[in-house]
Amino acid sequence: MLTIPLAAAIAAAVPARAQNAPPSPAPPAAADEPAGEAPLGEEEAMVLNFERADIREVIHSLATALGISYTIDPRIEGQVTNRTAGKIAREDLWPLLNQILRNNGIAAVKVGDVYQILPVAEAKTRAIIPRSRAAKSSLTEKDAFAIEIVPVQHVSADEMVNILQPFVTPGGDVLSYPRANLLVITDLQSNIDRLRELVTTFDSDVFHNLKTRVFKVQHGDPDELANE
């Protein structure tokens, strides 16, 4: 009978067990990364129901749906409650976002390709002056803060400021430049359009449609005729 030392037998058995052992289970496959949030298509719509949601999350949801880049000032905080009966079309999301911002004393200012979400008092200091019709059209669509200079002809600029002030958006402003009888309006572009309409209405010459003619009286007393 062949005798094998115990140590040798153990040494010989170890590799055999290693060979016969089942393969180690493969590490679990990494979970697929969630698909990135994509903006809505032109014809798409979404349901919006926020219940005391953090306003930053609401801004993120709407900005993502609109496909816009943005930064949020660290001072921005608040909660939003918003319920919709049905789906909101993409074209209605921007006005909704602006309304939510206004209700919370916030405004969006476009700087380059990025919208800065700021307290409304600071937003107006970063407003831009649209210098072309295309720029004004773009601002009207985006409803961003802008500065516009409006001349006044028949009414003093100071008086027109008093007329317009109740119609200015919170955070906006109307200043007069009496030397040239000009108004300097800082507001959302959509509201600037409304203010300009008010200027047109009130800046009118009340004597524009009145005409004066001189008649020579040949028979009768001019004073008596004037009183008739």
pLDDT digits (tens, 9 = 90+) for 147-162: 888 999 998 999 999 9
More confident residue, 117 or 32: 117
Tell me the whole-structure pTM to 2 decimals. 0.51
pLDDT at 18: 41
pLDDT digits (tens, 9 = 90+) for 29-69: 333 333 346 777 767 888 888 889 999 999 999 999 899 89
Tally of structural domains, the chain? 2
Q: pLDDT band for position 207 (50/70/90)?
A: low
Question: Does the residue 103 lie in any domain?
Answer: yes
> How far is it, in rounded angstroms, from Cα 29 to Cα 105?
47
Beta strands in the chain (DSSP E): 45-46, 49-54, 69-72, 79-83, 88-89, 106-111, 114-119, 145-151, 173-177, 182-188
> How far is it, in rounded angstroms, from Cα 208 to Cα 224?
29
Residue length, the chain? Answer: 228
Verify that 90 and 55 share a domain, yes or no: yes
Verify that 152 and 106 share a domain, yes or no: no
Q: Single out the residue of 209, 133, 141, 145 nearest to residue 173, CA to CA.
A: 145
Return the CATH number at 139: 3.30.1370.120
Q: Which domain holds residue 88?
A: 45-125
